[in-house]
Amino acid sequence: MPLPKFPCCPLAESQAKRERRKEARPGELLAAALDLFVEKGFAATRAEEVAARAGVSKGTLFLYFGSKEELFKAVVRENISGRFTEWEAELNNFTGTTPEMLAYAMRSWWERVGMTKASGITKLMMSEARNFPEIASFYQAEVILPGHQLIRRILERGIERGEFRVLDLDHAVYSVIAPMIFLMMWKHSVGACAPASFDMQPDLFITQQIELLLNGLTGKAERAVTRPPLSSQP
């Protein structure tokens, strides 16, 4: 029941700055929380720190998220969003070979997830799953399961079309996923405090990983390694 606002006097705009901030707050807080949770873990991150990084006071944090745990859940949910439907559509329209398709999937995963802050969520879940079983199962349903199915469909297509040999699909899915998970974990742990000696160039890794996945260590190098511009969906 808000009292009617009279727009005659030019209040319309003046209300705006604060309003805009109010709408931006949750996002700023979630971003700050993601950073810190990824960096230090849930327990070691103090609520006040999150608030400070978002440029607000402790109290404000609790205005938007009822508790630290709710904040955690929100961080996970926020960064999950059904990217999968969009993705699946893209792949359904894919007309190239299945090796190209797999390569495309892995590269665009890197660009859209691995490379971004969203990758921190995986680190977070891996580190904290046991402390938040409820969230963990939510994550499984929303991320892991759809991800598996997406990869599985690619592999099935390859097998159907005679491009891939027949193998245990369930575990093959893990073989495709493993290097991605690894990359995210590495980036947010060792990678974040490693000396240059352990420097890894993720897209080089991804590229070669695709190559190996397709042709193996004993195979002969294929043209696939020469990476086509990522956006040139064939």
Partner DNA sequence: AATGAATGAGCTTTCATTCAT
Partner DNA sequence: CATGAATGAAAGCTCATTCAT
**Binding positions for DNA, 37-66, rule CB under 7 A:** 45-48, 56-60, 62-64, 66
Please name which of 154, 158, 144 lies closest in space to residue 92, comparing C-alpha atoms: 154
Nearer of residues 46 and 161 to DNA, judged by Cβ:
46
Interface with a second copy (CB under 8 A), residue from 123, 146, 147, 151: 123
Interface with a second copy includes 171 (CB under 8 A)? yes
Beta-carbon-side half-sphere exposure of residue 107 (alpha carbons within 13 Å): 22
Angle at 148 between CA 143 and CA 150, to 5 degrees: 95
66-71 — which CB contacts under 8 Å span 24+ positions? 68/42, 69/132, 71/29, 71/30, 71/33, 71/47
Token duo for residue 173? 């899915």
Q: Is 46 left (phi over 0), alpha (psi -120 to 50) or beta?
A: beta
Q: Which does 137 bind (CB under 5 to 8 A by kind): a second copy, DNA, none?
A: a second copy
- Enumerate residues 188-227 that contact a second copy by CB under 8 A: 188-190, 192-195, 197-198, 200-201, 204-205, 208-209, 211-221
Residue of the chain from 18, 171, 220, 223 that contacts DNA (CB under 7 A): 18
Query: Smallest distance, Å, CB 2 to DNA?
Result: 5
Q: Which does 123 bind (CB under 5 to 8 A by kind): DNA, a second copy, none?
A: a second copy
Are 183 and 165 spatial neighbours (Cβ–Cβ below 8 Å)?
Answer: no
Q: How far is the CB of 36 from DNA (least distance, A)?
A: 10
Q: Contacts with DNA: how many residues (CB under 7 A)?
A: 26
